Amino acid sequence: MNIYEVLKIYFGYEEFRVGQKELIEGVIDGKDVVGIMPTGGGKSLCYQLPAIVKEGLTIVISPLISLMKDQVDSLKEIGIEASFINSTLDGQELVDRLMDMRRGRYKLIYVAPERLNTRNFKSIVKNINVSFIAVDEAHCISQWGHDFRPSYLEIPKFIQSFACRPAVGAFTATATKYVIDEIKSLLNLQNPIELVASFDRPNLTYKVVKTSNKYRYLIKYLKSKHENGSGIIYCSTRKSVESVAKKLQEKHIPVVFYHGGLEPEIRRKNQDDFILGRARIIVATNAFGMGIDKPDVRFVIHYNMPQNMEAYYQEAGRAGRDGEPSECILMYSPSDVVKQKLIINTDGLSQERQKILLANLQILVNFCHANDCLRAHILRYFNEDVTLEKCNNCGNCLDESEMIDITLESQKILSCIYRANERFGVNTIIDILRGSKNKKIIQTGLDKLSTYGIMKEYSVYVIREMIMTLISKKIINITTDKFPILKLTKTSINVLKGKEKVEHKKYLLVEENKETKKETKQKQYEQYDEILFDKLRKLRADIASNKGVPAFIIFHDVTLKEMAFSLPQNKDEILDITGVGVKKYEVYGERFIEIIKEHIKDKEME
Ligand code: ADP
Ligand code: MG
Ligand code: ZN
């Protein structure tokens, strides 16, 4: 069988994604490889497909236990013998699997790095034919990466222990040169074939949201946009994870939560609820996610700012692995930036490291302030040539909302900051502008300022919104103190003197701002028969719950949608659907065809 046949028959796909073919051919030829692809880019296929073709066993080293089970289940579904070895197995299970491994039962074995250098694992590996070692999430080996795992340092030792070293492949979504170099040197890769796929994820709509009331935005978003799709909401601390989750539960939005402080069983249960589709939404710290290969995540919301672009892109990239339109929303707030800075400043880090971290944070802050294409910003960050200056599928490209001139208002705000001697934060400045009778204002004599009450007619919300925009445009500077203070900048003077105009999106200055975003362009098969899709989904859910596996392991949403669009009614037709390979056809195909046929009949009778 050639690799296209394997791709079609086992995986049900017609074509390789960018980079896959070269890497797969390299692995089959016995070469070392480095595959750098964005999250969802299809790295697993690069070692799974060769494993089927090659003689012997492929060892996959992977950091997360949750990932192993899903991948092994998926492989079994398409008729490939695979298994995993990690701390979830009891003694007998471990012995059984090691025996099966020795007998050559598996094509792939997933192993946690901690297990590699154990005596029983090594002694078996020594006596069998290992064709390839795949190091997944390889950036975990780098101390400079954002996901360093000390256990990954076990890997070089393991590789060196082979009398005849198998080829080694490293796979990661991290594109930083420094990290890549470290991966290559620590794993001692030999003239590897290196492939960097494009980091563009066309199906993802990036959006930065600036709102003074994140929670309200979130509720609206969840209620209006995503009544069905599943999503991840990232918060920066355990405390905010719990409080956001609690608030959403009070609103009867089905969420579970996840952070490192939970009991392992609860963590595990919540994660399973999300992956198996029992809970639609998970609120989590960044401890959640690596190795979560759930393909149908329709949105990822960052309720707080991440630390840098690298981390942001990886987390946001967990949306839409199945290629379907999905949204990545980053909620920007200046106070989050301040918090991140405080963490960086107090970590006992070297000056040099602090500088790097601050510079990395600033890149993300600039991203949030961008007025032009967000996708172009991301791709430039990952060193890609940007050919299209406008992607027409990001918050900025899609935003055609009306702009209004707020130069006068800006001047009022700036002169208030000036009159108050640049000593106060957002709240006090708003109080002065609105002529508040607040005790603190009166006692400190701020009511005597000439700017006291000059914006009486504006709500707190609107003034705050304007201040946030002025900060984002660097017309106001916000300090990194514990209680951030507003300061003037060089540009403030230009605005005050009327040399520079300030514009603002109009709808953001209406308190109940209505989202008027255009729907993203839909694929042709998005015109599928929705009733049929629901029927197919129901069948899939029945099969999945009978087997105790997540629904996507049976078929992805894309596959069902395509069925509900093309209406396959026999073997050949259904094998043409993306994601239907021979094995899955044999096990489930006819049941799905039956539903489709029935549905067509019902419609004819109507
Ligand atoms: P990652 O690079 O993040 O590890 P995965 O290997 O989990 O990505 O793949 C992401 C999704 O893309 C999976 O659902 C997988 O089935 C799908 N996929 C991989 N290769 C192809 C392909 N050639 N055609 C269609 N879908 C693919
Ligand atoms: Mg992966
Ligand atoms: Zn764009």
> What distance in angstroms lies between residue 293's CA and the mean position of ligand 1's atoms?
9
Share of the chain above pLDDT 70, in %: 95
Q: What local confidence, expressed as pLDDT, does residue 525 receive?
A: 64
134: closest CA among 100, 99, 101, 172?
A: 172
Confidence of residue 206 (pLDDT cuts 50, 70, 90): very high
Residues with CB under 5 A from ligand 2 (ion): 43
Question: Which atom of ligand 1 lies nearest, measured to the CA of 17?
Answer: 23
The stretch 263-285 carries a mean pLDDT of 92
pLDDT in tens, 223-255: 877 667 899 999 999 999 999 999 999 988 889
Backbone torsions φ then ψ of 152, nearest 5 degrees: -65, -20
Which pLDDT belongs to residue 246?
94
| Ligand 1 atom with the shortest distance to the CA of 41 | 2
Q: Regarding predicted confidence, which is higher, 364 or 524?
A: 364
Question: pLDDT at position 342, please?
Answer: 79
Q: Which atom of ligand 1 is nearest to the CA of 11?
A: 16
Residue 481 has pLDDT above 80, yes or no: no
What is the band of 457 on the pLDDT scale with cuts at 50, 70, 90?
Answer: very high
- Over range 313-317, report the average pLDDT: 92
* Local structure of 18: helix, strand or coil: coil
State the pLDDT at residue 212. 72
What separation in Å is there between the alpha carbon of 496 and the centre of ligand 1? Answer: 53
Strands (E), 187-226: 193-196, 204-210
Q: What percentage of the chain has pLDDT greater than the value 90?
A: 62
According to DSSP, residue 526 is labeled G
Please calculate the CA angle 100-101-104 and round it to the nearest 5 degrees: 90
pLDDT digits (tens, 9 = 90+) for 121-174: 999 999 999 999 999 999 999 876 667 888 999 999 999 999 999 999 999 988
Distance CA 260, CA 531 (A): 41
List the residue whose alpha carbon is closest to atom 19 of ligand 1. Answer: 42
Which of 293, 556, 562 has the most ligand 1 atoms within 8 A of CB, as the residue to mutate? 293
3-state secondary structure 38-106: CCCCCHHHHHHHHHHHCCCEEEEECCCHHHHHHHHHHHHHCCCCEEEECCCCCHHHHHHHHHHHHCCCC
Helix ranges restricted to H, 127-213: 154-160, 177-186
Calculate the average pLDDT of the chain. 89
- Which residues fall within 8 angstroms of residue 371, CB to CB, at 6 or more apart? 396
Atom of ligand 1 minimally distant from the CA of 556: 14
318, 320, 326, 331: CA torsion to nearest 10: 0
Cα separation values, 145 from 138, 178, 273, 346, 356, Å: 10, 9, 30, 20, 13
Q: Which residues pair with 478 in a beta bridge?
A: 486
Closest ligand to 371 CA?
A: 3
Q: How confident is the model at residue 524 (pLDDT cuts 50, 70, 90)?
A: low
Alpha carbons 421 and 230: distance in angstroms, whole number: 48
Outline where 387-489 has alpha helix (H).
395-398, 407-419, 426-433, 439-443, 460-472
Residue 207 CA to ligand 3 center (angstroms) comes to 9
Go through the domains of the chain in sequence order and give each one's CATH number. 3-196 (3.40.50.300), 204-398 (3.40.50.300), 403-509 (1.10.10.10), 530-605 (1.10.150.80)
Question: Which residue reads 């590789």 in tokens?
Answer: 159
The residue contributing the CA closest to ligand 1 atom 9 is 42
Confidence of residue 519 (pLDDT cuts 50, 70, 90): very low
Q: Which whole number is the average pLDDT over 175-180? A: 82
Q: Which DSSP symbol is given to 394?
A: B
As a whole number, mean pLDDT of residues 582-596 equals 95
Please state which of the ranges 29-33, 342-346, 433-437 shows the lowest mean pLDDT: 342-346
pTM above the 0.85 mark? no
Q: What are the structure tokens assigned to 502, written together?
A: 């300030």
**Ion ligand 3 — residues with CB < 5 Å:** 373, 375, 391, 394, 397
Question: Any residues with Cβ below 6 Å from ligand 1, and which?
Answer: 13, 15-17, 20, 37, 39-45, 293, 295, 321-322
What distance in angstroms lies between residue 327's CA and the mean position of ligand 2's atoms? Answer: 20
- Output the pLDDT for position 566: 85
Query: What are the distances in angstroms from CA 331 to CA 263, 334, 393, 471, 516?
Result: 29, 10, 18, 15, 17
